[in-house]
């Protein structure tokens, strides 16, 4: 029977030392119960706790880390079938495919594209995560040369795809310390690939033609001592891949079937870009942890990046921007000062309207746990006292001559409290709708 948070808490030291990364043993017990941490994170767990909690605290889908320390990608550790049940944890890692048949010039050009690709959306920078290098030649030297070129050119973690253990060994040596993912152990070469993974402390893909064969293979690899595995089961079409992914996720979460409790890798390819985007989107929704694509076309990357951001945003946590004082346009010491909350959408709508108005301004963004204006006010997080304290703690008063603060029209009621807490400032109630900010600012500027 699964242990509850309270059962788990009783087995912990109860010293609240915080060394596990959460402030109290109770909070750690709750995370253990949710299977989002492992008992190993508590250095003081007793032998009894280790024995009793052991399997109960193990995440149903193993967390696997790939890539160099400065660009590490984590996949797995998921605990739910549907995002609305809680949240999906680690976004699908997008990997671009290269081969050792590509020329040095081609690799230099394409790896630079991977490195530089960045889509900025609601305050986040969305990038490509990994690169796969395929040993198409089957030879050692061209593979190692391509691996070095792709690792250096992209700066990303690599997936090394080869059937040749010698080529893999040489490439792994060239990438010492960069934790590439080895592709792949199969029922035919499991021992040789396991030896490589252990020698280079690298994660390993297990690839088999059916789910039964895959489960047998991962059990075999685990016995050989390889813990960080990623699953790959070939599928003749996306519908079958979707079915495989769903069965794997269900087996891991609903039946605690350990042999399939690992992240999943899928390939999507083809010249038909709309079909490729459709297939990749399907697998991203259900449940690809790593998706290997063979295109850098902007019209394919844009929808995939946006979809991924939407799926992997925690539904319990609004997207936030950093509380700060943002210059919009090129404000000077006499430019207007406006204030709002750190809900990302609010920030982007308000800053966009200010920018469109052509009136440069200072925009004060107050920490409100990412809530919108009215919600934050109702929750007591966007009060006159809090806004005043934020402004006083900042260097705004030394930077601007302006002593007029424009507040959102929906919270006109905080103006009195603000005047009390911000002596010397005039509080001006702005419009309720951000769309009316432009005319409002122009009127203020003309006054």
Nearer to ligand SF4, 44 or 210 (CB): 44
Nearer CB in complex with ligand SF4: 17/378: 17
Shortest Cβ 316–ligand SF4 spacing (Å): 23
Among 284, 347, 293, 335, residue whose Cα is nearest residue 312? 284
Least CB distance to ligand SF4 at residue 30 (A)? 11
CB-nearer residue toward ligand SF4: 16 or 415? 16
How many Å apart are CA 294 and CA 266, to the nearest integer?
A: 12
Distance in Å, CB of 25 to ligand SF4, minimum? 3
Dihedral-angle region of residue 348 (phi above 0 means left; psi in -120 to 50 means alpha; beta otherwise): alpha
d(CA 227, CA 260): 12
Copy the structure tokens of residue 164: 């040749």
Nearer to ligand SF4, 11 or 441 (CB): 11
Q: Would you tell me how many other CB atoms lie within 10 Å of the CB of residue 105?
A: 8
For ligand SF4, the closer of residues 44 and 234 by Cβ is 44
CB of 10 to ligand SF4, least distance (A): 12
Q: How far is CA 16 from CA 5, 10, 11, 181, 264, in A?
A: 15, 13, 13, 37, 36
- 4-39: buried (b, 16+ CB within 10 Å) or exposed (e) per residue? ebebbbebbeeeeeeebebebbbbbbbbbbebbbbb
Shortest distance (Å) from residue 72 CB to ligand SF4: 23
User: Nearest approach, Cβ of 20 to ligand SF4 (angstroms)?
Assistant: 3
Residue 24 or 164: which CB sits closer to ligand SF4? 24
Burial of 389 (0-12, 13-18, 19+ CB in 10 A): middle
Residues within the interface to ligand SF4 (CB under 6 A): 12-13, 15-20, 24-25, 28, 42, 44
């Amino acid at each position: 029977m699964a242990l509850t948070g309270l059962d788990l808490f009783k087995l912990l030291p109860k010293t609240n030392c915080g060394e596990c990364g959460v402030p109290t043993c109770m909070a750690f017990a709750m995370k253990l119960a949710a299977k989002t941490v492992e008992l190993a994170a508590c250095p003081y767990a007793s032998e009894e706790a280790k024995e009793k909690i052991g399997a109960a605290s193990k995440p149903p889908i193993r967390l696997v880390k790939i890539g160099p320390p400065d660009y590490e990608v984590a996949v797995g550790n998921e605990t739910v079938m549907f995002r609305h049940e809680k949240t999906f944890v680690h976004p699908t890692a997008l990997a671009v495919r290269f081969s050792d048949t590509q020329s040095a010039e081609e690799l230099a050009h394409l790896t630079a594209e991977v490195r530089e690709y960045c889509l900025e959306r609601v305050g986040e920078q969305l990038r490509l995560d990994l690169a796969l290098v395929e040993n198409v030649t089957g030879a050692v030297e061209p593979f190692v040369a391509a691996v070095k070129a792709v690792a250096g050119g992209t700066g990303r973690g690599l997936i090394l795809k080869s059937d040749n253990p010698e080529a893999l060994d040489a490439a792994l040596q060239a990438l010492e310390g960069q934790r590439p993912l080895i592709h792949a152990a199969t029922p035919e070469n499991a021992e040789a690939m396991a030896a490589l993974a252990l020698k280079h402390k690298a994660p390993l893909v297990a690839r088999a033609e059916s789910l039964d064969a895959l489960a047998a293979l991962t059990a075999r690899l685990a016995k050989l001592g390889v813990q960080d595995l990623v699953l790959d089961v070939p599928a003749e079409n996306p519908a079958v891949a979707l079915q495989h992914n769903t069965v794997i996720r269900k087996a891991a979460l609903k039946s605690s079937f350990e042999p399939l409790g690992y992240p999943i890798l899928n390939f999507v390819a083809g010249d038909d870009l709309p079909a490729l985007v459709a297939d990749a989107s399907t697998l991203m929704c259900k449940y690809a942890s790593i998706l290997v694509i063979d295109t850098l076309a902007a019209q394919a990357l844009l929808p995939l990046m946006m979809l991924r951001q939407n799926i992997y945003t925690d539904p319990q946590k609004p997207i936030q921007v950093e509380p700060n004082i943002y210059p919009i346009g090129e404000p000077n010491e006499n430019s207007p000062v406006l204030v709002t909350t750190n809900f990302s959408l609010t920030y982007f709508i308000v800053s966009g309207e200010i920018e469109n108005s052509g009136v440069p301004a200072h925009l004060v963004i107050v920490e409100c746990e990412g809530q919108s204006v009215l919600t934050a006010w109702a929750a007591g997080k966007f009060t006159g006292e809090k806004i005043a304290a934020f402004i006083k703690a900042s260097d705004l008063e030394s930077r601007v001559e302006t002593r007029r603060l424009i507040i959102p029209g929906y919270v006109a009621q905080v103006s009195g409290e603000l005047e009390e807490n911000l002596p010397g400032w005039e509080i001006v109630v702005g419009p309720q709708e951000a769309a009316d900010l432009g005319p409002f600012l122009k009127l203020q500027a003309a006054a």
